[in-house]
Amino acid sequence: MKFVDEVSIQVQAGDGGNGSASFRREKFVPFGGPDGGDGGDGGSVWLEADEGLNTLADFRHERRFRAQRGENGMGRQKTGKSGEDVVIRVPIGTIVTDEDTGEELGDLTRDGQRLLVARGGRGGLGNIHFKSSTNRAPRRTTPGREGERRGLRLELKVLADVGLLGMPNAGKSTFIRSVSAAKPRVADYPFTTLYPNLGVVRVEAHRSFVVADIPGLIEGAAEGAGLGVRFLKHLARTRLLLHLVDGVPSDPDRDPVEDVRSLFRELERFSPELASRERWLVINKLDQLSPEDRQPWVDDIVQRLAWSGPVFGISAATGEGTRVLCGRVMSWLEERREEDAARTDQEQDSE
């Protein structure tokens, strides 16, 4: 199965209908003048952000979209019916780029936001427009214009407050199942996560945040190894990174400390700005240790890493420690939102 976070599609707006060359044909009107109507406009193609969608996977099967052509004009000055628009639903966070020019056409960041990507052709003019004092019976019309045609590249950057970062089998899918209603697939092998799962974590009434389970990364991801750089892009908009560590690796040759360092090197190579983002250490799978061994184990990892930021020991499988962690995350996000609101107010006051 292939993860789809970037797809190419073809869109074609409808052509405009042709203008009509018609003349009045009525009883007692032997010399009826021109009465040809205009052609209808072609339908346009729109993209619309839908909060109910999380991936671009639906475009694996349908990649060509075409709007309806406008109808031709008719006699009695009747304008042809305009073609119906095509509205393509995409996830919030989709960036749209023209494949031919490389121009970024838009960034859909709000539910219901629309972006016009191919404009329908205008309908042609009927012969009534060409009547003059010297030409009482014009047969001239104009054809409808062609609708726009475009190749588009859609790229999804998950809109989440918190990103789960970690090596394969760190337990990210299990964690998101534990703290939210999302149901990502969980299995005991690398790269279980093939799609970025979004989950809404409700701490209490009216206090919630969105967490993104980012597919597993391996050393060399910044150069495209494994699942590659495409998945690193999904972290671009998160405000806080939870670095989930397999605290008790099933492979005795793996070292949690080296896993943290390796993945952080990939982050620094891919994006220094992303690497500088707030990052908390979450040591998972402590249920596999006896209660008296857990804190010394955590302390050892923290000491060897010389970690100075927040540290949490949890078990995603049993839920131990996850409630405390989510409460701290919620409080941190609320503080950031208050700071943003205050900064916006200051900027508005200074204008």
pLDDT digit string, tens, across residues 61-98: 789 999 999 999 998 889 999 999 999 999 888 999 99
Q: Token digits for 256?
A: 């949690």
Strands (E) across the chain are located at: 6-12, 45-50, 64-66, 86-91, 94-98, 104-108, 114-118, 149-156, 162-165, 197-204, 207-213, 240-246, 279-284, 311-313
Q: In what order do the strands lie in the sheet with 197-204?
A: 197-204, 207-213, 162-165, 240-246, 279-284, 311-313
Q: Record the pTM.
A: 0.58
CA-wise closest residue to 280 among 247, 237, 328: 328
pLDDT digits (tens, 9 = 90+) for 4-39: 468 899 999 999 999 999 888 766 656 668 889 999
Single-letter residue type at 22: S
Statement to judge: residues 323 and 244 lie in one domain: yes
Distance of CA 149 to the CA centre of its chain: 23
Statement to judge: residues 102 and 122 lie in one domain: yes
Statement to judge: residues 189 and 282 lie in one domain: yes
Can you give the pLDDT at residue 242?
93
Can you give the pLDDT at residue 230?
55
Statement to judge: residues 113 and 190 lie in one domain: no
Asked if residue 1 is part of any domain, the answer here is: no
C-alpha span between 125 and 17 (Å, rounded):
9
Asked if residue 53 is part of any domain, the answer here is: yes
Give the total number of structural domains in the chain: 2
Statement to judge: residues 174 and 286 lie in one domain: yes
Is 219's pLDDT higher than 50?
no
Statement to judge: residues 229 and 252 lie in one domain: yes
Question: What CATH number is associated with residue 42?
Answer: 2.70.210.12
Is 326's pLDDT higher than 80?
yes
Statement to judge: residues 115 and 204 lie in one domain: no
- Contact yes or no for 240/214 (Cβ under 8 A): no
Residue 146 — φ and ψ, nearest 5°? -70, 145
Tell me which residue has tokens 């080296």: 258
Structural domain of 251: 162-350
pLDDT digits (tens, 9 = 90+) for 109-154: 888 999 999 999 999 999 989 988 788 888 899 999 999 999 999 9
C-alpha span between 128 and 124 (Å, rounded):
12
